[in-house]
Amino acid sequence: MPSSTTPPVTLSDAGPRAAHKVALITLGCARNDVDSEELAGRLAADGFELVDEAEDAEIAVVNTCGFVDAAKKDSIDTLLAASDLKGHGATKAVVAVGCLAERYGKQLAEELPEADAVLGFDSYRDIGDRLRTILAGGHIEAHTPSDRRKLLPLTPVERQAAAPETPVAELPEGLAPASGPRTPRRRLGDGPSAPLKLASGCDRRCSFCAIPAFRGAFLSRRPADILAEARWLADQGVREMVLVSENSTSYGKDLGDLRLLETLLPELAAIDGLEWIRVSYLQPAELRPSLVTALATTPKVVPYFDLSFQHSAPGVLRRMRRFGDTDRFLELLGTIREQAPLAGARSNFIVGFPGETDEDYAELERFLTEARLDAIGVFGYSDEDGTEAAGFADKLDQDLIDERASALADLADDLVASRAAERVGEPVRVLIEEVGEDWAEGRGAHQGPEVDGSVRIEGAEYALRVGDLVDAVVVGSEGVDLYAKPTGAATGRR
């Protein structure tokens, strides 16, 4: 636990507090979005006033990302930009939280004195007291990072009893219980889509990935808690719920039922107001046939497969501590499309992993060419602190990594553009996210939020609103994006 100049308290202990203004700046993935909304819930319940812009806040809290070098740099740049506001207007302090803060702790605090505090995940339980201490001029010692996988029992079924819980006071209007009964949540936006945390942590030991060490062992949320939060999101006007975790295919293993997701999805689909349910972060090696069928055929569950392939050459995958190969992955995609011909599929790939040969790279090109993915992310390999791969001896020259990453990214751009062009003439249902004078833009069921392209609606004979669902036909494409014309009336929010 981090040390502090104030003792830890729970929300139920908190009395009247000064309404300090706080801004939350969120970087990284949808899991961080949920974390920020849980921090917002805690702070709102503890008397803080939430504002949108850092320059309007007394204290800016930056929820950082610590996944890859580019994300780390973006986090540090954002902290520095927020720090520049100090002494100009309302801003008095800047605090780093999130994955970068958890992962580096004291090291980050020493190397970034512009941040007034660096708080790890354990600080979230009494975040209000810690922010007040900082605003009062007090000092909070940054934590010393440790392997969070060791905080819970090794055996998954023993973890639920060991997971800590923090009681929460009766929640004001606009807040919801999230992450079980432990944490309140307040939405920071009003868009029609929202993430919902299915689980946290990861038990996989991929040789390139540091996430399990600072996110911890895999821990499922109980179905009743997920359903309660999903109902709250629907009451807030959310039409699309995106289930997020570090590994959604492992859901339920620590609850004694590895097929729990298959039974949870129909219960979520029965919630009034929710129209789309999307599941992210699927491990191909764990994608059992019953889950493929559930994702492809359950009403309201969009046929969307966010698959963590990473590579396709078997030798590289084994060195990554992963499973599969090109032909197995193509067979999996074929099985998915047999059950859901219009399904969307996306994945990320690492190029230039230690020991990757010309033949391995050619095998990856073969897979991408045959896979017909809707969205492809390409990353050049870089060492991550504390990972097994960082100690591998057969590293590739950086120029070769950059050359392969650039070539594969160019190939990926061509392939996803070709895949989008294949969809011309197909029916598409679009969730509207932005509306102009004579156009509207949103996403099809095969497109995930923010990363997978969009669908632009033109020629509608009726007004469209954000949150509408529109049946349309694809009439054109440009890169990964589609153009469509409506074929039916819009279905609006409640």
| Residues annotated within a binding site for [4Fe-4S] cluster | 29, 65, 99, 202, 206, 209
Edge-to-edge strand ranges of the sheet holding 21-26: 49-51, 21-26, 59-64, 93-97, 117-118
Alpha-carbon distance 259 to 304, whole Å? 18
Residue type, 25: I
Residue type, 420: A
Cβ(419)–Cβ(374) below 8 Å: yes
How crowded is the C-beta side of 63, counted as CA atoms within 13 Å?
Answer: 23
Q: What sign has the CA pseudo-torsion 180, 431, 67, 55?
A: negative
Cβ(181)–Cβ(25) below 8 Å: no
Binding site members? 29, 65, 99, 202, 206, 209
Residue 70: CB partners within 8 Å, gap ≥ 6? none
Spell out where 15-68 has E strands: 21-26, 49-51, 59-64
How crowded is the C-beta side of 449, counted as CA atoms within 13 Å?
Answer: 22
Alpha-carbon distance 111 to 65, whole Å? 17
467-470 long-range Cβ contacts below 8 angstroms, 24+ apart = 467/192, 467/237, 467/239, 467/431, 467/432, 467/492, 467/493, 468/431, 468/432, 468/440, 468/492, 468/493, 469/239, 469/275, 469/276, 469/429, 469/430, 469/431, 469/432, 470/429, 470/430, 470/432, 470/440, 470/442
Alpha-carbon Rg for the chain, nearest whole angstrom, is: 23
